Chains A and B, each alone.
Chain A
């Protein structure tokens, strides 16, 4: 009779551990960037890209129809991604955003799983650029690039198994991407 509560206890502890493990495994690589919306009024140039899994899948399918090897390279990068979310603000004057705005993003990146792999600080200008990785075991589950410069604040959040080397090595010339980087299109918008 005394063994039953002990066994139950073990099962309960096991379940709790499983729940924690599952929580760690299924953690969200998507950052909440809504707090940056207020900077839209101050910014002179805004770039916003919101591409969820369905849109990326659609884009990959469209690239599949293209025989161009560049398209194949891009398709290879985006095929397994679950989302790309970018918010970039450029300001005419310095100090248009507060440290609290950036800290709200950094706080999310202190969650379990996220690791800062590159930090570049310029003490003279106060610039701080960082690259964070979210890992699920050996696989990358998300990337966050935070560029906080005097006149620019950019957050790039890529969700899914990001082939980060491939992204860094993307060629400068895109057959379809020779348009202005900040061209207004669908999910992105700009303000000049």
Chain B
């Protein structure tokens, strides 16, 4: 494409921007400024409570204290629960063992009585338990 000198001159000729150009430009500048100004303000309002919070160390201390006490109480309760559970289990085991011991004693007493009963009837002394090779048969008429 070829442009002649006249074409370029016509294209680059000075044009009048018309009335109110300055006002329009200033209005746009103000609009852009206003946009830039509103956003940080909204951002700031979001974190305003934090700024207020920073201003009240007493609240911070109270919250930390409540949290600390809550954790301490929960820990104590859990340790008490564990302690009671272990104590309960130990008690159960002890009761079971005591019961088993009583059972064993009862069983041994019955075994002893019946063993001696049979040996007495067979006229054998209790300290002379026969071995497999000494089979004893007594008949009473």
Contact = CB atoms under 8 A, between A and B. Distances in A.
Do A and B pair up? The answer is yes
Interface of A: 47, 49, 51, 55-56, 58-63, 74, 77-78, 84, 86, 88, 115-124, 127, 129-131, 133, 135, 145, 147, 154, 156, 158, 164-165, 167-170, 174, 176-177, 179, 181, 183, 185-188
Contacts of B140: 120-124
Nearest to A165: B129
Given A121-B137, A124-B141, A168-B112, 10 more contacts: A49-B110, A55-B104, A56-B104, A62-B101, A117-B135, A118-B137, A145-B115, A154-B114, A156-B114, A183-B106
Contacts of A49: 103, 106-107, 110
Contacts of A131: 115, 118-119
A167 B103 contact: no
B11 interface: no
Nearest to A125: B140
Given A145-B115, A165-B129, A51 B138 contact: no
B96 interface: yes
Contacts of A84: 104, 107-108, 111
Interface string B128-141: 01111011111111
A145 B102 contact: no
Contacts of A186: 99-100, 102-103
Interface in B78-131: 94, 96-119, 121-122, 124, 126-127, 129-131
Nearest to B97: A62
A158 B104 CA distance: 11
A164 B129 contact: yes
Nearest to A131: B118
Contacts of A124: 140-141
B98 to A, nearest CB: 6
B122 A129 contact: yes
A86 B96 CA distance: 19
B105 A123 contact: no
A50 to B, nearest CB: 8
A165 B127 contact: yes
Contacts of A187: 103
